[in-house]
Amino acid sequence: MSNMVLILLILFAPIYAAFFEGAQRVLKAKMQRRIGPPILQPFYDMYKLMDKRALMVNKTHTLLALFYFFTLWLLIAFIFLGFNLLYIIFLHLLASIILILAGFSVKSIFSHIGSNRKLLSIVAYEPVLLLVAIGIYLVYGSFDISTILNSESQLLSFPFIYLALILIIPAITKLSPFDAPKAHQEIVGGIEIEYGAIFYEFLYAAKFLEMIFAYSFIYILAGDNHLLGFVLVLCSFLIVNLIDNSTARIRASHMTKVILFFGILLCSLNILGSLLCP
């Protein structure tokens, strides 16, 4: 891939990621047998947000939202540049902590609850992501994405790691049954509640970048077979949305137990298999 294409992919990541969100909303509507919004709805939403009056609760609250968005954007740049998976996971953890601090920087009880639930979710899925990275290393011999994507595809070596990723993607992207951190019916969006207008738009666009981050782990499982990686991402996208539309939200404490138990179990089985059958 040329340097110019890489630069364009990085610079326009929030734009084409918005199509990913639009496709998800269209798919969700089809699964629920309703008309639903058009695929361009995220762009219409962002246009409306830009037209609203911008109000700040406090400067720290606003700055943390900006830091969260730009940290995720930097994270996407690292993915496309083929950086180390461990660096990428820890940078994502930093972005999540910034968002949690944003929730605690205001007095809203709903924002505080959302931050607490977000903290529980990262305690659950971040260890699983680390085990996924270890499992990929044992098969491809490197943590560097550039090296992995230039290695012969070993997709069949990741049956349980793939299932672990399907388990945690709803938690990363805040979909059912692990959408407790936002839970609009309970805590009115949680951390997002005190944001409005263009400042909320940064959180809105950050959600699109989170999707790229989550599905990038699925893509790299296929190694140098990029067509297979794309098909795998598409199939995983359908599966995750099917789960989202067929399950109910569970409590945050249950979410943590389910993800930690099954995620670590699945990754450990895959790692053990890689060690015993190299």
50-87 per-position pLDDT tens digit: 777 777 778 888 899 899 999 999 999 999 998 999 99
Tell me the per-residue pLDDT of 205-245, one tens digit each, with 9 for 90 and over. 888 899 999 999 999 999 889 999 999 999 999 999 999 88
- What are the sequence ranges of the domains in the chain? 3-276
Residue 117's Cβ-count burial label (10 Å; 0-12, 13-18, 19+) is: buried
Least confident among 139-148, 180-189, 205-214: 180-189
> Can you tell me the mean pLDDT for 85-95?
94
Question: Torsion over CA of 76, 171, 90 and 81, rounded to 10 degrees?
Answer: -20
- Alpha-carbon distance of 55 to 34, in angstroms, equals 35
- Alpha-carbon distance of 270 to 274, in angstroms, equals 6
How confident is the prediction for the chain on average, in pLDDT?
88
- Alpha-carbon distance of 202 to 196, in angstroms, equals 10
Q: Considering the entire predicted model, what is its pTM? A: 0.90
User: Is the predicted pLDDT of residue 278 greater than 70, yes or no?
Assistant: no
> Can you tell me the mean pLDDT for 31-43?
85
